[in-house]
Structure 1
Amino acid sequence: MSSFKELTNSDTPVLIDFFATWCGPCQTMMPVLDKLKEDLGDQVRVLKIDVDKNKALATKFAIRGVPAFMIFKNGKQVWKAAGVQPLHELKAQIQKA
């Protein structure tokens, strides 16, 4: 298993989805993320992180509610948002990165 640092240290933007299995809005985001991946293909990498299984990581990034999203490029956080995000917003932020 790669470390978080290795996974986010990439020229390709990495979208992190902090979620929980019991979270309704997180379930709502699943088809949006699938469509994002379908539309952007190799232009983005999507990582899903279950906050209940990765409490230390959620704490490190001050994730207080799910879903929460972050975009990393070359190991640096370039965007962060909480709550359900529309597809066009995620695309815009990834293309900006």
Structure 2
Amino acid sequence: MDSFNHLISQSEVPVLVDFYANWCQPCHHMTPVIEEIAQEMEGKVKVIKIDVDKNMTTAMKYKVRSIPTFILFYKGVILWQQSGIIARHVMEQEIRKSLIPQS
């Protein structure tokens, strides 16, 4: 948990967290989308995956009640959060909004 908190609060770029579980079919559906975004936006956003079955405390802290849940952090602040299957363009749009320099 400490390394997670450090990552989301100290990263120089926004951090997109994918809360998932191996048994979750919608999570599997979103995996290629997340991987493509991570590759295409490398250096502009960090993407990490958190298995809710192995990290229940973290999932509970951020009130993850359904999966997949995606949370976009910048300097420890939640900029965007959404659960379920999300269209790629919607997720990219939210990430791009976070790339505007924060004041």
Q: In the alignment, which residue of structure 2 is the partner of 1:66?
A: 67
Mapped to 2, the partners of 1:53 and 1:17 lie a distance apart of 13
Mapped partners of 1:5, 1:63: distance in 2: 16
- Cα offset for 1:11? 2.4
Identity of aligned residues (%): 40
Query: Which stretches in structure 2 are left out of the alignment for 5+ residues?
Result: 99-103
The separation in 1 between residues aligned to 2:42 and 2:12, in whole angstroms, is: 14
Q: TM-score, normalised by structure 1?
A: 0.94
Pairs aligned (count)? 97
Query: Which letter does structure 2 place at the counterpart of 1:44?
Result: V
1:41 alignment partner, SS class: coil
What residue is the counterpart of 2:42 in the other structure?
41
User: Equivalents in 2 of 1:46, 1:2: separation in Å?
Assistant: 17
Tell me the TM-score normalised to structure 2 length: 0.89
In the TM superposition, what whole-angstrom CA distance separates every residue of 1:58-79 from its partner, at most 9, and x where no partner exists? 1111111100000000111111
1:52 aligns with 53
Counterpart AA for 1:19: Y
Report the AA paired with residue 46 of structure 2: R
Partner of 2:21 in structure 1? Answer: 20
Pairwise CA distance, 1:90: 1.2
Answer with 35-44 or 48-57: which moved more: 35-44
Unaligned runs of 5+ residues in structure 1 are none
**Deviation, structure 1 residue 2:** 5.8
Structure 1 runs (4+) deviating above 3 angstroms are none
